[in-house]
A and B are shown apart, each in its own frame.
Chain A
């Protein structure tokens, strides 16, 4: 009897793993679908549309302003009404909110670099992944090179952090 109990204790998952993984995974799947439906309905998935929005000197297409507006109009009030009062999320064990508050050169260089890539292709990470099901060859080229770019940046980041240079 005692032996059985201690055996069970051995099997228990480490504390870093959230207890209700299945529910968390299901919710992640659901929100992923909903977000991607939003990207499709809003036409944000169409790089030509994005480039039309970024083309302020040409025939500027303001439609994507309404995408961001719609998203913030929903997210912002719900966030401020509900999240600061809650100690933890409904399913998870804690809120994983970004802890960085200071502006550093990584943020500035990163954002500017991302903007250039976004302008060149009209594609950002969400719409890139949303476009996968169509099987367009160029999307796979984009995603593969995006991952390469991410790996390079994380190497740069960690090597600078390790060398202890101040920012």
Chain B
């Protein structure tokens, strides 16, 4: 871990904040990715099109960043990666995906909507939600990596 890693993380974060702000300034929308995704899928009509354009942009981002040497990871493995087989990883992704989808929809937001836009607007709901998902994320990884004998 080097100082370059931190600077890179910080600059990437600034770009995320800038894009989320521009979406609010120009379109009047919160850059909450879970909400945008769900609404894109569950409603139709011209008023919904911007959501699909935003999602298309999210997919294109890494392609734009690639010539500059920033790439997507080669492997997608969860916190149980000590003994990963393909079947186990499928189960981890199934379970994790359902929890993430259920949780973000019920809790009306994820790391972008609550964690960036909500905290910046000093929304108490978002500050609390961010603290809660950080804490339960910490606890989950602690349990998997250190509490369950490292399965």
Tell me whether A31 and B72 are in contact (CB under 8 A).
Answer: no
Tell me whether A147 and B101 are in contact (CB under 8 A).
Answer: yes
Tell me whether B136 and A111 are in contact (CB under 8 A).
Answer: yes
Tell me whether B58 and A130 are in contact (CB under 8 A).
Answer: yes
Tell me whether B51 and A34 are in contact (CB under 8 A).
Answer: no
Tell me whether B33 and A82 are in contact (CB under 8 A).
Answer: no
Please provide the chain B residues from 72 to 127 with a CB less than 8 Å away from any CB of chain A in the complex: 72-73, 75-81, 89-90, 92-108, 110-112, 114-121, 123-125
Partner of B54, one of A32, A116, A119: A32
Partner of A57, one of B123, B133, B146: B146
Tell me, in angstroms, the Cα distance from A102 to B63 when the chains sit together.
40
Tell me whether A71 and B103 are in contact (CB under 8 A).
Answer: no
Given contacts A36-B59, A51-B78, A153-B102, contact A96 B15 (CB under 8 A): no
Tell me whether B49 and A121 are in contact (CB under 8 A).
Answer: no
Tell me, in angstroms, the Cα distance from A36 to B103 when the chains sit together.
22
Number of residues from A at the complex interface, CB < 8 A: 118
Tell me, in angstroms, the Cα distance from A79 to B25 when the chains sit together.
8
Tell me, in angstroms, the Cα distance from A47 to B26 when the chains sit together.
31
Partner of B59, one of A54, A120, A133: A133
A13 beta carbon closer than 8 Å to chain B: yes
Closest Cβ of chain B to A17, distance in Å, is 5
List chain A residues, Cβ under 8 A from B28: 88-89, 91-96
Tell me whether B98 and A40 are in contact (CB under 8 A).
Answer: no
Tell me, in angstroms, the Cα distance from A89 to B18 when the chains sit together.
15
Number of residues from B at the complex interface, CB < 8 A: 114
B151 beta carbon closer than 8 Å to chain A: no
Tell me whether B27 and A28 are in contact (CB under 8 A).
Answer: yes
Tell me whether A32 and B105 are in contact (CB under 8 A).
Answer: no
Given contacts A36-B58, A36-B61, A154-B38, contact A123 B96 (CB under 8 A): yes
Chain A 110-139 interface mask (CB, 8 Å, partner B; 1/0): 111111111111111110111111101011
Please provide the chain B residues from 123 to 151 with a CB less than 8 Å away from any CB of chain A in the complex: 123-125, 128-130, 132-142, 144-146
Tell me whether A42 and B57 are in contact (CB under 8 A).
Answer: no
Tell me whether B97 and A73 are in contact (CB under 8 A).
Answer: no
List chain A residues, Cβ under 8 A from B16: 35, 38-39, 42, 44, 67, 70-71
Q: Closest chain A residue to B68 by CB distance?
A: A41
Given contacts A32-B56, A142-B93, contact A73 B25 (CB under 8 A): no
Tell me, in angstroms, the Cα distance from A113 to B140 when the chains sit together.
10
Tell me whether B31 and A72 are in contact (CB under 8 A).
Answer: no
List chain B residues, Cβ under 8 A from A43: 5, 8-9, 12
Tell me whether B95 and A56 are in contact (CB under 8 A).
Answer: no
List chain B residues, Cβ under 8 A from A113: 99, 102-103, 106-107, 136
Q: Closest chain A residue to B60 by CB distance?
A: A33
Q: List the interface of chain A (C-beta within 8 A of B).
A: 13, 16-18, 21, 24-48, 51, 54-58, 61-76, 78-79, 82-83, 88-98, 100-103, 106-126, 128-134, 136, 138-139, 141-154, 156-157
